Amino acid sequence: MDHHMGTPFLIVLASGIFWMLGICAGSVEAIEADEEHTVSLYQHLAPATVFLSSSYQSRHPLVTPPSTGVGAGFILDETGTVLTNAHVVEGASAITATLYDGQRVKADLIGIDIYTDIAVVRLAHVKGKLATVRLGNSDHARIGQQVLVLGSPFGLGFMLTTGIISGLAPLPGAVKLSESQLIQTTAPINPGNSGGPMVDSEGRVIGITTAVLAGAQNIGFAIPINTAKAVLGELKQKGRVTRPWLGVGGQFTTDEIRILFAFPLVPGLLVEDVEEGSPAAEAGLRAGTFHMVVEGIPWILGGDIIVAIQEESIHSPRVFSDVIKTLRVGQTVKIEFLRDGERHQVFLVLRDRPTSLPKTTGPPDRRTTGVLPGGTLGSVQVCCTRF
């Protein structure tokens, strides 16, 4: 009897072993296929990535010697058009590009936009055919999605790091001229990665590596490629981006801040600084002076609250963004604002936004983008909407 029962048991046991071996074999094959895919992506993308070295001349070379900065970029077309970060090449007296095949060539600055941290350079006198990247759609980026980052960290060579998209949020300290969010990633980023491509699992560029959070581990940021697409044509054609300029910066009041304080706060843009020489300054708009920190977020209260532009209520950042997209340089606009509980209005002419970062009436730590050469984000500062 035991003999007859043992045979089916052995058959079941053997079947289970073969089933487990099949799973293990399948897992190994899946891992190997994933590795081969990553290797293939690198082999395709590395030749389309360049290492950039920027030279900076000192006005007093005997006192301050010339300096250099490093970064990366990626090739868009066979004419040698390269997309990179503005902070990688801004102010450089010379830019040298090192290609994957070892060629070192001059790179000419074609256009730069410090507000989006985007720059376009063009490679000169390249021998042979250039590899190029494919651009993806960053609007489809999802938290948890796998990404790869290419660059030349510390100039050590063309390297690849991997991670996931860990968040989609504004970069702390960034001057926001639109509602576009930055892509946060766990992929390790180091000096020399700035300006390099962030790609999805299909090898399509969805972001431009731009910064890391100082003092944190594996918290890096990339500019969505759609942000670059929006300014690329204008940078190639004119070398800069034309934007209407009012000259104010601030935050939108929230329900919490309106309930907490007895100030006459209404939905709108609370003016926290006014740029020197701007249409807003000439029209007499006032920035706040009363500093408060609410739940870790700095506020400057007491300034004008812009409640409407061209008779369109701007009660939220999204509505504000939609309104300013309709405005043009040279246009006369009606600004309605609240001051000391009373509603006022003023008409002013929008001018072309200067290409340099704004000088404001606000505190110094509110005047920078937070992105430093080398791609390191300093202390976390509050974001402000600027127009």
The pTM of this model reads: 0.76
Q: Flag whether 188 is in a domain.
A: yes
Return the CATH number at 63: 2.40.10.10
Q: What is the pLDDT of residue 363?
A: 41
255/203 same-domain check: no
pLDDT on residue 355: 74
- Report how many domains make up the chain: 4
The percent of residues above 70 in pLDDT, for the chain, comes to 78
pLDDT of residue 370: 31
Of 183, 212, 238, which closes a domain?
Answer: 238
Q: What is the pLDDT of residues 117-128, one digit of tens each?
A: 899 999 999 999
Active site annotation includes 139: no
Give the DSSP per-residue string, 152-203: -GGGS-SEEEEEEEEEEEPPTT-EESSSPPEEEE-S---TT-TT-EEE-TTS
Question: Based on the domain organization, do 24 and 61 belong to the same domain?
Answer: no
Does residue 148 sit in the same domain as residue 207? yes
Domain assignment present for residue 129? The answer is no
- Are residues 86 and 177 both part of a single domain? no
At 14-55, the pLDDT tens digits run: 555 555 555 555 566 666 778 888 899 999 999 999 999 888
**Same-domain pairing of 343 and 375:** yes
Q: Is residue 12 part of a domain?
A: yes
Instruction: Tell me: do 203 and 248 sit in the same domain.
Output: no
For residue 270, the model assigns a pLDDT of: 87
- Catalytic, out of 53, 54, 117, 152: 117
- Ranges 3-17, 133-147, 244-258, 371-385: which has the least confidence: 371-385
One of 87, 152, 273, 304 is an active-site residue; which one? 87
Mean pLDDT value across the chain:
80
Q: Are residues 306 and 381 in the same domain?
A: yes
Is residue 128, in this structure, part of any structural domain at all?
no
**pLDDT (tens digit per residue) in 50-94:** 999 888 877 766 666 677 888 899 999 999 999 999 989 988 889
Secondary-structure percent of the chain, ordered helix, strand, coil, rounded to 5: 25, 35, 40
Number of alpha carbons in the 13 Å side-chain half-sphere of residue 102: 0
Cα-based distances in Å from 28 to 90, 111, 217: 47, 48, 30
> Active-site residue 34, yes or no?
no
- 143 and 234 fall within a common domain: yes
The single-letter code of the amino acid at 4 is H
The last residue of one of the domains, among 88, 123, 158, is 123
Q: Is 42 within the bounds of a domain?
A: no
Answer with the one of 190, 207, 238 that is the final residue of a domain.
238
Q: Kindly state whether residue 90 falls inside one of the protein's structural domains.
A: yes
Q: Please indicate, yes or no, whether residues 17 and 92 belong to a single structural domain of this protein.
A: no
- Do both 186 and 308 map to the same domain? no
Task: Report the number of secondary-structure helices (H) and strands (E) in the chain.
Answer: 6, 27
pLDDT of 249 > 90? The answer is no
Whether 367 shows a pLDDT value over 50: the answer reads no
Contacts of 256 (CB under 8 A, 6+ apart): 294, 295
Looking at the structure, tell me whether residues 22 and 77 fall in a common domain. no
Catalytic hit among 138, 166, 194, 278: 194
Judged against a pLDDT cut of 90, whether residue 112 lies above it is answered with yes
For residue 77, the enclosing domain spans 47-123
- Cβ(55)–Cβ(71) below 8 Å: no
- Whether 169 maps to a domain, the answer reads yes
Nearest to 152 by CA among 46, 13, 267, 226: 46
The per-residue pLDDT for range 257-296, each reduced to its tens digit, is 777 765 667 788 889 889 888 899 998 999 888 888 877 7
Least confident of 37-41, 154-158, 333-337: 154-158
Active site residue 194: yes
Residue 341, domain member (yes or no)? yes
Residues 157, 101, single domain; the answer is: no
Judged by DSSP in three states, 230 sits in: helix
Tell me the CATH number at 306. Answer: 2.30.42.10
